[in-house]
Amino acid sequence: MNVRLQKFLADAGVASRRAGEKLILEGRVSVNGKTVTELGTKVDPKKDDVMADGAPVRARKKLYIAVNKPRGYICTKLDPERRKCIGELLPKEWSILNTVGRLDRESEGLIFMTNDGDFSLHMTHPRFRILKRYWAAVPGKLDPKKIEPFMKGVQHEGERLRAESVRILETSNRETTVELDLREGKNREVRRMFETIGLEVLRLRRVQIGKIKLGDLPEGKWRTLTEPEIKSLLSPS
């Protein structure tokens, strides 16, 4: 499949798309031995020979990883405060990978990591409405009627938050576990929903993204996504 030259350069790790455009306009990129200066140029990553500043550019293998993030880890590569980072759970040679979206430090569960920017955009942009399922533990015995408004939408700090579905999994006088399905992916959405009814989330775990479930993946461990799983995530739901 042909792609724009600046995207190919970005995917190969040569430069960002904007920096890649500058390289092209400055005449520093060639395709099959010919200097290219037009931004609309497309290349076939499998057939065309691309060079930047005289060095060959090779398509970088795209990686798609599922991680069971433990509580206490942050979703960044490096942290000046030396807190534990999710990248520490992966092999060092995968330092190029970025998280797809975020889980806050105190949240745990399923998160993807990849070097494919298009995949990341598809998984996180609200227009694609990718399902994300969470289990939230809150204190006390919860009346189901208190969480019914979540499906109609609740206001928090001027923003409307809405769950596609919500149900109680377990309840006792000490604690209640609630399952919520979301599709918009707003910042700290589950915790903020419960704040509107005066409850603090004690534990929050993401157990599913699209059709991919956390399953029995151990805490702190990772696995690669299969081709069928990747296709299922990119297919219209």
Q: Exposed/middle/buried for 35, CB within 10 Å: 0-12, 13-18, 19+?
A: exposed
Q: What CA–CA distance (Å, rounded) separates 134 from 138?
A: 13
Token pair 């918009």: residue: 184
> Cα torsion at 224, 229, 234, 237 (round to 10°)?
-140
Separation between Cα atoms, residue 143 and residue 68, nearest integer Å: 30
Here the tokens at position 126 are: 């609200």
Q: Hey, what are 113's tokens?
A: 């990591």
Query: Residue 125, SS3?
Result: coil
Catalytic residues: 104
List Cα–Cα distances, 37 to 25, 31, 42, 115, in angstroms. 5, 10, 12, 27
Question: Rg for the chain (alpha carbons), in Å?
Answer: 22
Q: 153: how many CB neighbours lie within 10 A of its CB?
A: 11
Beta bridge partners of 52: 29, 55
State the amino acid at position 104 in one-letter form: D
